[in-house]
Copies of this chain bind each other. A is one copy, B any other.
Amino acid sequence: MPFLSETPDITTKNPLMALVIGNTMLSTIPGVSGAGPSPEKTLLTPNLDAELVATGAITSVPARPNTPTGCPTPASITRSMMELTGRAPLFINAGLVHQPAVPCLDVYGSPGGDPRRGDAVPLAGDLFRRGEMVGRLLSQCSDLLVLGECVPGGTTTALAVLRALGYEASVSSSYVENPVTLKEEICREVLARIEAAGVHEPLDILRLAGDPMMAVAAGIASTYGGRVLLAGGTQMLAVAAVLKELGHEPPHLATTVYVRDDPSATFARTVGEVGTVAYYVDPNFAHLGHVGLARYCIGEVKEGMGAGGAMVLAHLMGFTPDEIARTVFDFVSAYS
């Protein structure tokens, strides 16, 4: 298998890896998110991921960067790519329950609410406009923006937003067994609310059904002057779909083959329907000799914290597939 499904026509002198982090209260519903040791503790995952990517270790709480099932977190992959490339990542706080332990460009949003109970992101329009300000700011200091995210429970908001925008999408999950029934149930309730409200504009859909990450990421991508690569799976695909609906050229995506190959999701088909391109990276985790990484290949974790995009970035900067896989292996072997 090739390392990249196709080579992006991107050259960059000054790339920036930025990660939008936020919460949706959907992740506290048992069974929705596997990104944490308990539903309540999924809320802290973006903070711990940011700490790991920024500093190389989690010291603010006693925790190891493994998933509850013992896989290295995708943040570990992103961190190892930051070490390999020597780039410092930027974190963008779109709305978190817990205060981060590392500096973040903060738009002073709030965690997303449960979209079955009321507007999920009451100030989605304001967050989009603050994202626009961030996009202008980042334009003057980089020529390529690799924009990832960490929002536990965010594939469920992405499903609702994609459906509300008219796509027949199914979405990916960090679970091996995608909790499709639960997500579909939530989605049905949310779509009924959207229909009752007679809402069609993309920022209104984000207000009712999205999460703060989506509004901020869409704002950033809409004003950024260089090339944008959305680093992620279905959640970033929802951002691309929102941008298209707002009249923008939807940015290309970069993610792992594990997202593309998820049989319960329709990622590649929906990418085509949105009218954009996704680059799929295959880091060949099956053959590295690390049990936790190998489990990515049977459908665990798959993606997160811009891991796929971080590997694509390293490749664009001239590092070989072997250097990339070896760096991930060395980093995760040091603690697991």
Contacts and interface: CB of A to CB of B under 8 A. Distances in A.
Given A54-B133, A133-B54, A14 B106 contact: no
A301 interface: no
Number of identical protomers: 2
A197 interface: no
Contacts of A90: 137
Contacts of A102: 130, 133
A181 interface: no
A73 B245 CA distance: 41
Interface in A281-307: none
Interface string A159-182: 000000000000000000000000
Interface in A68-123: 87-88, 90, 93, 99-108
Nearest to A106: B106
Contacts of A101: 108
A103 B103 contact: no
Interface size bracket, A side: 20 to 34
Given A140-B14, A142-B141, A106 B88 contact: no
Given A103-B107, A103-B134, A106-B104, A88 B54 contact: no
A70 B140 CA distance: 35
A331 B315 CA distance: 47
A228 interface: no
Contact of A133 (B103, B130, B140): B103
A136 interface: yes
A142 B87 CA distance: 14
A44 interface: no
Interface string A128-147: 00100110110111100000
A16 interface: yes
Given A14-B140, A141-B16, A99 B108 contact: yes
Nearest to A140: B88
A116 to B, nearest CB: 28
Interface string A1-40: 0000000000000101000000000000000000000000
Contact of A105 (B14, B103, B130): B103
18 contacts: A14-B141, A16-B140, A54-B133, A88-B136, A90-B137, A93-B106, A99-B108, A101-B108, A102-B130, A103-B107, A103-B130, A103-B133, A103-B134, A103-B137, A104-B106, A105-B105, A105-B106, A106-B106
Given A100-B108, A104-B105, 20 more contacts: A14-B140, A14-B141, A16-B140, A87-B140, A88-B133, A88-B139, A88-B140, A93-B106, A99-B108, A102-B130, A103-B105, A103-B106, A103-B108, A103-B133, A103-B134, A104-B106, A104-B108, A105-B106, A106-B106, A141-B141
